[in-house]
Amino acid sequence: MKPIARLTTGAIALALLAAPALAQQPAAAQPKFDSKGIARTETVRHAFDSERDAIQVRVDFAPGASFPKHSHPGVEIAYVLSGTIEYEMDGKTVRLQAGESLYIPAGAVHSAKNIGNGIISELATYVVEKNQPIVILAK
């Protein structure tokens, strides 16, 4: 498995071009959180090639909310739009703030937690196998 890699804002600019409106969520628009304090809003789904889809999802975390250990059937690039989030992957903890990114290899089991006092938001960009669930919870 590849090590955790931080990407600069410039490295993810291409992904953000696909969803420029997501960089700023209007103050009046409040995420619709599930019972665990997570709101997922799919914004783009398009064929990447004959075997994979490119998908972008805005993920909002209520204060203290966390997403349990899971993986994806392809790579993910997480770009933090606002707040501070803590990821755990391969026994390592990585703290990211707004404007920072994280590359998550295909199949890498990881978790994420809002460690701040406010809502945090990230843009998750996936290139994943077609006809597979985006999120696979770890057992």
CATH architecture, domain 5-20+40-137:
Sandwich (2.60)
What is the per-residue pLDDT for 45? 96
- Tokens in use for 136? 């696979």
Q: Return the DSSP state at 64.
A: T
If DSSP codes are grouped into helix, strand and coil, which group holds residue 48?
Answer: coil
What is the per-residue pLDDT for 139? 87
Cβ–Cβ < 8 Å for 66, 60:
no
Q: Which helix (H) or strand (E) holds 54?
A: strand 52-61
If DSSP codes are grouped into helix, strand and coil, which group holds residue 15?
Answer: helix
- Per residue of the chain (139 residues), give pLDDT as tens: 444 555 544 444 444 444 444 444 454 478 899 999 999 999 999 999 999 999 999 999 999 999 999 999 999 999 999 999 999 998 999 999 999 999 999 999 999 999 999 999 999 999 999 999 999 999 8
Q: Return the DSSP state at 63.
A: T
What is the per-residue pLDDT for 6? 52
What is the per-residue pLDDT for 31? 86
Query: If we measure between CA atoms, which residue out of 65, 62, 60 comes closest to residue 80?
Result: 60
